[in-house]
Amino acid sequence: MSFSYVAIFIAMLVLRPGSELFYKGFQNTYQIIAPLWATICCFVYWAKGKHETKSQRAAWFFIGLGCLSFTGGQTTWTVIESVLGEEVPFPGLADVGYLGSYPFLLMGVCMLLYSQHIASRARLFLDSAITVASLAIMVWYFLIEKMWIAAKADPFLDKIISASYPIGDFLAIFIATVALKGCSRQSSLRRSIGFIGAGLVMISLADGNFQYMNLVESYQTGSWADWGWSFGFMMIGFSSISALWWPKQAAVDKTQVSKRLRNAGSMLRVVSPYLCVVAALGIVILDDFAKDRAISSSVYIEAIVVFFLILIRQMLMLAENVSLSRQMASMNENLESVVEQRTGQLVALQQLTKAVNNTLNFTEVLIESTRHSRIALNASGVALWLLKDNGPGIPSSPYLRTIDGINGIDGDESLTKALDEMPLKTGVESILVRTEFSDVWNCLRAPLTWQNRQIGMIGVLRQNGTFAQGDEQLLESIGIEIGTALEHARQHADALAAADHDSVTNLLNHRAVHQRFDRMFTETRDAEKTLAIMIVDLNNFKLFNDTYGHVTGDQVLKKVAKVLNEECDANMLTARYGGDEFMVILPEASAEKAHMLATKIRGRLQNEGFSRPSEDRTVPISLSFGIACYPNDGQSRHELLTIADSNLYQAKNSDEGIVFTSESQRANRELRAEASFEVLDALVTAVDNKDRYTRKHSEDVTEYALWIADELGLSEETMRTLRIGGLLHDVGKIGVPDEILRKPGRLTPEEFEVMKRHPRLGELIVGGIPGMESILDAVRSHHERWDGHGYPDQLSGEQIPFMGRLLAVADAYSAMTTDRPYRKGMEFAAALEEIRVNIGTQFDPQMAHAFMAACERRGIVVPVEEAPVRKAA
């Protein structure tokens, strides 16, 4: 705009250099620029700006029309005076433009202020009217009245037009005052209304100065006051530009009471209108009284008008006070019930928080959550939705987890279906739920959150009645409490599951299965029922790991675990018992049932096997099963585990791969119940702890010795002696050093001499126990040879005690067929061939032939050459 003024100045200087016409032309022309610029700015903002209401948009259109009207009037004045060189007529077309700007500007500003509350608008206008009344009194007294008297001889229309200017200025100042007082209440237009009000004041003051200077005939074109018009319209234009460049959103008043309290203003704002009007009346009265020592009627009229304005203002204030008093009384009446309601809700929230945090059981948290939520919000029912994990890469979906309080209501199945189909939302929502039976439920839902992460939703339902804003806030708080409690319960359950389950197979781990087996065994014993256990070994698993790697080994373990879970009933326990061992506990099952299940599992895994994704061939999976059953195999949990483990060891060396306790083994355990035998058996256990071979070897020797005794037709008393002697024949090894017993290779001659001492040491130990005299021969002589080259006494032939000759065959066969750390056991047929070859040298022919006959009876291949068997007398 400054460039425009410079251009006009240079143009006028070229056209009218140094003349009076140049001076007037420049003054008249620059007066066009400011209103024209304001016109353009207002219309641009009207068309392109963002307006909160239609009235605000229309307001800028009218303000633009007001600026355009003034531009037209000033242009007419300039053309007549500067271009045509004539005196501007009064009244004329220029006056139409000037006076036409007032109604448009005033209407536009009033529409901007229209969004004020009606009581606030009335108080604002009255305060401004009282303030402006002081100025109006002085303008009327010192200007309008004198202008009317001075133009007494002029036509009436001229008088009206002359008076219209100060009246318009008075109204402009009035509206400007309203705008300036109200701009702090219009946060979205605060800056714009302030600029408009200041612009109107400057325009009105410039015009009032022009009227007064004309009245006293001292006006000169280009007076300093003339800039008031330009600056005033520049500020109006800038008001629209500021609104376009720096838009602000209107602040939303929370309540009507806070709006009225805020608009009440400070003490200075309340008192200032009265001070202004009193000062103005005082000046007018003093001036009027100084003229003729009397107060004129016009002054009285002005005082009466002001009085009525103040009276109306006070009545309005009284009405507002009465309204506020009624609102306060109503609030006080409702306050007690609101406080009681909120107190009850807070107590319910506290009880809910306590209830859901007193347990880490997920189901109990759900139950307590719905129950207390229903009480807290006085709801007909409560529903909980939880997020369901759909797998990797698939978004989680909500599912209806639990409903409380609507069972028994007509159509609750239809309501459940409608609730189950509701989508998940991220915020609080209040919706209507319609069922197939045309029932309508009000449902308020809020998210269940934990650490700002949504895990579901909670919804409360009312069939009659709506929800208040306070209910939304309470339900939101409940959602946070329940979400936190549910997540803690889930994490606790996950931690327990992780502590009780093997990380590879997801079966129960060693610790957990022992805990549950202990409880299950106690329940079985108290109920006098049966129970079976299976210890399952994955054969050659170390070789499998070494060949294919541990990753593939883990996949094999998972395969076995999968088959176990699929083949076992729901009431059975499956566990990973060790590195390559599993355990299955079968409540109310016999050994035969356990054997059938083991056969099914073993056959399936052998058929299905395992194949790696990169290979077509299938590798068979071989399992061995050791079975024990309560009460037949043991009276305690530890006995069952020991028997099952022992049977597993035998199963690994058998073709079937499944072993449960034989009758002879049960008979051996019956012997262990005897006090004297229990002492010696404890020594055998001690030896077995030093050398794992001893226990299994002793039981095998006992079994084979009984085969020979049965073939020879020996008495039950002799067979009982054999059972004890077979189990205790190596008890003397307790005195052999560990490094010799556990040596993984062949013994040196010196070490073998030490080993040869154990029959004598065994005789000494057994001989010290009452009632064990009958087995002394078996303990001392089971290493004697038929040809006399045995130890410890180098006896030969019939000199060797009967029990010693019998056990020598059983002991040799067990030693040859059992795996040792330094060698693999011989095949059964090869061992029998070795016995046949050594008949008459190492073994008693009678005992050797009896053993081979017993083996043949049991399906073991026996060499062809056999001697006749002599029955014992």
The pLDDT tens digits of the residues spanning 435-485 come to 766 678 888 888 988 888 888 888 888 877 778 777 888 888 888 888 888
Residue 511 identity: R
Ramachandran region, residue 7 (left: φ > 0; alpha: ψ -120 to 50; beta: rest): alpha
pLDDT of residue 251: 46
Both tokens of 227, joined, read 């800039």
> How do beta strands 531-538 and 453-462 pair?
unpaired
Ramachandran region, residue 391 (left: φ > 0; alpha: ψ -120 to 50; beta: rest): left
pLDDT of residue 165: 75
What is the rounded distance in angstroms from the CA atom of residue 842 to the CA atom of residue 828?
Answer: 18
Query: Do residues 345 and 474 make contact, with C-beta atoms less than 8 angstroms apart?
Result: yes
pLDDT (average), residues 648-673: 69
What is the rounded distance in angstroms from the CA atom of residue 866 to the CA atom of residue 869?
Answer: 9
Omega within 30 of 0 (cis) for the link into 792: yes
pLDDT (average), residues 794-818: 93
pLDDT of residue 489: 86
What is the rounded distance in angstroms from the CA atom of residue 149 to the CA atom of residue 295?
Answer: 18
Q: How confident is the model at residue 576 (pLDDT cuts 50, 70, 90)?
A: very high
SS3 605: helix
411 by Cβ neighbours in 10 Å (0-12 / 13-18 / 19+) ranks as middle
H helices within 505-573, ranges in order?
Answer: 510-527, 541-548, 550-567
Least confident range from 168-177, 216-225, 758-767: namely 216-225
Tens-place pLDDT, residues 624-642: 999 999 988 888 888 888 8
Residue 459 identity: G
Tens-place pLDDT, residues 42-63: 999 888 888 778 888 888 899 8
pLDDT tops 60 at residue 745: yes
HSE on the CB side for 489, CA within 13 Å? 22
pLDDT of residue 9: 46
pLDDT of residue 868: 46
Q: How far is CA 5 from the centre of its chain?
A: 67
More confident residue, 533 or 320: 533
Q: Among 811, 809, 854, which residue's Cα sits nearest to residue 693? A: 811
Query: Do residues 600 and 592 make contact, with C-beta atoms less than 8 angstroms apart?
Result: no
| Mean pLDDT computed over every residue of the chain | 78
Dihedral angle sign, alpha carbons of residues 103, 104, 105, 111: positive
pLDDT of residue 831: 92
What is the rounded distance in angstroms from the CA atom of residue 163 to the CA atom of residue 581?
Answer: 114
pLDDT tops 50 at residue 722: yes
Tens-place pLDDT, residues 72-96: 988 988 888 777 878 878 788 888 8
Q: Report, in angstroms and rounded to the nearest whole number, the Rg of the chain calculated over CA atoms.
A: 57
pLDDT tops 60 at residue 740: yes
More confident residue, 661 or 525: 525
More confident residue, 383 or 296: 383
Tens-place pLDDT, residues 479-503: 888 888 888 888 888 888 788 888 8
pLDDT tops 80 at residue 780: yes
Edge-first strand listing for the sheet containing 453-462: 397-404, 381-388, 453-462, 440-450, 429-434
Residue 684 identity: V
pLDDT of residue 209: 75
For the chain, first and last CA: distance in Å?
144
Least confident range from 186-190, 261-265, 361-365, 429-433: namely 261-265
pLDDT tops 80 at residue 189: no
What is the rounded distance in angstroms from the CA atom of residue 763 to the CA atom of residue 290?
Answer: 155
For the chain, counts of helices (H) and of strands (E): 31, 10
pLDDT tops 70 at residue 540: yes
pLDDT (average), residues 776-796: 93
pLDDT tops 60 at residue 727: yes
Out of 100-109, 593-602, 627-636, 822-831, the most confident range is 593-602
SS3 622: coil
- Which residue's entry shows tokens 């049965």? 710
More confident residue, 612 or 509: 509
Least confident range from 7-11, 131-135, 386-390: namely 7-11
More confident residue, 100 or 204: 100
152 vs 157, 161, 164, 197, 379, CA distance in Å?
Answer: 12, 13, 16, 34, 83
Query: Do residues 583 and 598 make contact, with C-beta atoms less than 8 angstroms apart?
Result: no
pLDDT of residue 13: 45
Both tokens of 17, joined, read 């250099």
Least confident range from 107-111, 341-345, 780-784: namely 341-345
CA angle 734, 740, 742 (to 5 degrees): 85
What is the rounded distance in angstroms from the CA atom of residue 183 to the CA atom of residue 446?
Answer: 40
Query: Do residues 309 and 134 make contact, with C-beta atoms less than 8 angstroms apart?
Result: no
What is the rounded distance in angstroms from the CA atom of residue 806 to the CA atom of residue 722?
Answer: 9
Query: Do residues 814 and 697 make contact, with C-beta atoms less than 8 angstroms apart?
Result: yes
Edge-first strand listing for the sheet containing 623-630: 573-576, 581-587, 531-538, 623-630, 658-660
Q: Which phi and psi angles does 188 have, rounded to 5°?
A: -75, -25
Q: How confident is the model at residue 849 (pLDDT cuts 50, 70, 90)?
A: very high
pLDDT (average), residues 338-361: 80
H helices within 49-184, ranges in order?
Answer: 54-78, 93-112, 118-139, 145-150, 156-182
Tens-place pLDDT, residues 561-570: 999 999 999 8
What is the rounded distance in angstroms from the CA atom of residue 814 to the CA atom of residue 318?
Answer: 119
User: Residue 606's CB: how many other CB atoms inside 10 A?
Assistant: 13
